[in-house]
Structure 1
Amino acid sequence: MIDIPTQAAPVLPPFVDLGGTAVFALSGALLAARLNQTFVTCAFFALLTGVGGGSVRDAMLGVPAFWLRDFWVAPVILIMALIAWFTPRKWWDGKWLEWADAVGLAIFCALGTAKALAFDVAPLAAIVLGIVTGCVGGIVRDVIAGVPSILMRPELYVTAAALAASLCAVLILLGVPQGWSMGLAALAGFALRGAAMHWSIELPAYSREVKD
């Protein structure tokens, strides 16, 4: 049986935590705006994307959702929805938002894994919860919107999340301090996601044909 180091649940600096939540919330609100939806839908997609993954993780851990006791999370999500609603669509045509999303993905996957390990979750399950933290909100949002989710696209998104979560778990199990483990894991996940975006790296699709 693997002896998991006992640690306190990780806490990100407020500006990092809120910044990642804001990026995810903005991406959700922008999808609603691009689909010509109402502001209510923008706000709902912002909430779902911003805290969906972390909420599912916390529910599975049996603890209150992280954002329920944080005064700033809900206002930040509402602000992101307002920004998406009142700014011209052409402002978001560039790639910078995708790069910011990559940062949030990597950080939250590492955070989710570290938090799960702090609650004595088995290593592989902790990695799964790390991936859930970074990806589930966006997946549910896409399903509700009726657009292909990240699970149905060949781009390296969930793969980058898995790298960040796995590396974080391995480093913590090896006794590397929690902060360093999260930082190095997030950097690796961001590097893979960034390389995939820059060089259009994709996973191969299943193409085996059945012969009569």
Structure 2
Amino acid sequence: MQLVRVLDFIGVGVFAVSGALAAGRKRLDVVGVVVIATVTAIGGGTLRDLLMNRTIFWFIDPAYLIAIFAAAALTMLYVRYRHPPERQLDVADAIGLAMFSISGARIAEQERLPDLIVVVIAVITGTFGGVLRDVLCNDIPMILQRGRIYASAVVAGTSLYVLVQHAGLNRDLASYGGMATIAGLRLAAIWWNLRLPIFDLEHHRGRK
């Protein structure tokens, strides 16, 4: 349980940074930055808890909100003095995605849900905050961008996490392996522009 809490806190902090950077790129004011950072950080975990009929995690421990506000403030302070690299938002998002997804998977396991639902809950936990961030910033959500390796990275990493546990691996070690897989796939996709195959109905129709 302790690892879940650590993953949640780190994931919340990293997603808050990603939200603050996204808000900065849209030239929002301080309130806008805090709002985007907050919904990015807690959106996925909130939907997860609602679906699982659990008390929402940041209701129980407001320290999550303090972590979000601190991360947003530090991000705004940092960018006043140094311009962040263009891909910093994607890198921060990849790290948060990995940690939050596996945290969601572990919480679903505690409720003794089937393996498939564990993977689904991981995807929801990891991606929904980013969906809210992108919608509020008037961008196409990353999960819906053509060919983007995003939710697919969560599916791969969480599936590995579940399978290696069935093979007898310790849950904590399986968690690290799942997170490394998710983050690795996302970062590889970012650095080498890897894409999933695209189903193009018009292209196939034109070949007839």
Normalising TM by the smaller chain, what interval? 0.7 to 0.9
Distance 1:115 1:156 in 2: 24
Q: Counterpart in 1 of 2:125?
A: 133
Q: Counterpart in 1 of 2:97?
A: 105
Contiguous gaps of at least 5 residues in structure 1:
1-9
Give how far 1:172 is off.
3.1
Distance 2:136 2:127 in 1: 15
- Bigger shift: residues 10-19 or 120-129: 10-19
Distance 2:33 2:184 in 1: 30
Q: Counterpart in 2 of 1:202?
A: 195
More helix by percentage: 2
Distance 2:74 2:6 in 1: 19
Q: Is the 8 A contact 1:33 1:84 kept in 2?
A: no
The structure-2 alpha-carbon separation of the partners of 1:64 and 1:14, relative to structure 1 and needing over 3 Å to count, comes to closer
**Aligned ranges 1:54-133 → 2 under 5 Å:** 54-86=45-77, 87-88=79-80, 91-133=83-125
Q: Which amino acid in the other structure matches residue 93 of structure 1?
A: P
Distance 2:83 2:3 in 1: 30
Distance 2:124 2:198 in 1: 23
- Bigger shift: residues 41-50 or 188-197: 188-197
**Aligned ranges 1:5-16 → 2 under 5 Å:** 10-12=1-3, 16=7
TM-score for the superposition, normalised by structure 1: 0.85
Query: Which of these residues, 126, 139, 160, is aligned with residue 153 of structure 2?
Result: 160
Query: When the two structures are aligned, how many residues end up with a matched partner?
Result: 203
Give how far 1:138 is off.
0.5
Distance 2:8 2:105 in 1: 15
The structure-2 alpha-carbon separation of the partners of 1:14 and 1:122, relative to structure 1 and needing over 3 Å to count, comes to closer
Q: Per-residue displacement from partner, 1:15-53 (whole Å, max 9, x unpaired)?
A: 554222111011112212211222212111111111111
The structure-2 alpha-carbon separation of the partners of 1:16 and 1:57, relative to structure 1 and needing over 3 Å to count, comes to closer
Q: Is the 8 A contact 2:157 2:179 kept in 1?
A: yes
Q: Is the 8 A contact 2:8 2:103 kept in 1?
A: no
TM-score for the superposition, normalised by structure 2: 0.87
The structure-2 alpha-carbon separation of the partners of 1:77 and 1:48, relative to structure 1 and needing over 3 Å to count, comes to same
The root-mean-square deviation of aligned C-alpha atoms, in Å, is 2.2
Query: Which of these residues, 44, 58, 78, is aligned with residue 53 of structure 1?
Result: 44
Contiguous gaps of at least 5 residues in structure 2:
none
Give how far 1:151 is off.
2.1
